[in-house]
A and B are shown apart, each in its own frame.
Chain A
Amino acid sequence: MAKKATTPASDVYTAILALACLAVLAAAVFVTLTCMDYYGSDALIKIAQIPR
């Protein structure tokens, strides 16, 4: 089956989606750094563990 080349219909909406993805990524990075700053690097791992 021949590979169908996908092309965006509009660059504007692509830019909007890219901007939204960058914002979400930046927020995730900010939250991660803040959590590491507050509670240490182990907090990202321990936060998912079941408390004993």
Chain B
Amino acid sequence: MSILTKIVAVLLSVFSLLLAGMFVVFVGNANNYRQWYEEEKTLNIALQADLTIKGEQYNVQVNKCAELDKKMRQELQSLEAGKNQLAYDLHKSEQLAQKFQADADSWKGVMTGFEQSVRILQASLSQTQGQLDKARTQGIKDQKELNQITADLYEKIVQLQSLEAERRRLLEQKKELENRAAAGGAYAQKVIPVTPLNRTASPAAIAPAGTDVKGLVVEVQQNLITLSVGSADGVKERMVFHITRGDRFLCDVIVTNVDINRCAGVLDLIQQSPQVGDTASTRL
């Protein structure tokens, strides 16, 4: 074997080894394009399906948007109509407000006049109320005097009746004496008149102080009250009556005017307004 043959054999072997190694390395590092293709194909199918679903969803959403747009347009039209109606109502309301404002201004002037009239009437009422109270007080005093005069009149009448009876009795005695004198009887005999001797009138007994006096409310006029008991029952001025209704305390009454069978006073410690028929007592 020649040297050239040996060299060629060695080089052939070396290059064969290098080429085989490079080839193995190249094939070992080569990509699996089929696997890539399958993966990409699967991914493409999935994406196509997803695209189809998205397209359907897009169409659905587009339809919904179209419906919503239609509804919104209808609602917008109705709102526009409502807006126009409201604007018309607002204009009408403003006109009414102006009219009412003018009326209010006129009524304000009228009310101012009324207020002045009411003030004048209130002042007149207060003055009249004071005059009325004075008149009531005067009336109570007059009633008291009238009762006193009536009592005096009754007393005078009783005295007059007594005197008339006395006169009759004396006339009867005189007539009897004249009859006896005419009959000639000289004996004197005591003449007994037919008319009995009457008692003179005397005032009623006044109840002693400190006793319980009870009566009823017969008249109520604002701050004045009239009771059914008077001086004949022992009532005096500045006495205090307690007005009750059942077991409930209503107020106190300080007596200011006393009549024979009635008295009047002012209210005090008012818990509740008394009424006609409530009980008045000096002791609770």
Q: Name the distance in Å between B6's Cβ and chain A's nearest Cβ.
A: 6
Please state if A16 and B20 are interface contacts (CB–CB under 8 Å): no
Tally chain A residues at the interface, Cβ within 8 Å.
19
Please state if A17 and B28 are interface contacts (CB–CB under 8 Å): no
Instruction: Tell me if B200 counts as interface (CB < 8 A to partner A).
Output: no
Please state if B6 and A20 are interface contacts (CB–CB under 8 Å): no
**Which chain B residues border A9 with CB–CB below 8 Å?**
1
User: Which secondary structure dominates where chain B touches chain A?
Assistant: helix
Instruction: Tell me if B17 counts as interface (CB < 8 A to partner A).
Output: yes
Please state if A20 and B23 are interface contacts (CB–CB under 8 Å): no
**Which chain B residues border A27 with CB–CB below 8 Å?**
20-21, 23-24
**Which chain A residues border B20 with CB–CB below 8 Å?**
23-24, 26-27
**Which chain A residues border B28 with CB–CB below 8 Å?**
30, 34
**Which chain B residues border A38 with CB–CB below 8 Å?**
30, 32-35
**Which chain A residues border B33 with CB–CB below 8 Å?**
38
A40 vs B27: C-alpha distance when bound (angstroms): 15
A13 vs B9: C-alpha distance when bound (angstroms): 7
Please state if B27 and A34 are interface contacts (CB–CB under 8 Å): yes
Please state if A19 and B27 are interface contacts (CB–CB under 8 Å): no
A9 vs B4: C-alpha distance when bound (angstroms): 13
Instruction: Tell me if A10 counts as interface (CB < 8 A to partner B).
Output: yes
Instruction: Tell me if B13 counts as interface (CB < 8 A to partner A).
Output: yes
Residue ranges of B at the interface with A (Cβ–Cβ < 8 Å): 1, 6, 9-10, 12-14, 16-17, 19-21, 23-24, 27-28, 30, 32-35
20 A–B contacts from the bound complex (CB under 8 Å): A10-B6, A16-B9, A16-B10, A17-B9, A17-B12, A20-B12, A20-B14, A20-B17, A23-B16, A23-B17, A23-B21, A27-B24, A30-B24, A30-B27, A31-B23, A31-B27, A34-B28, A34-B30, A38-B35, A40-B34
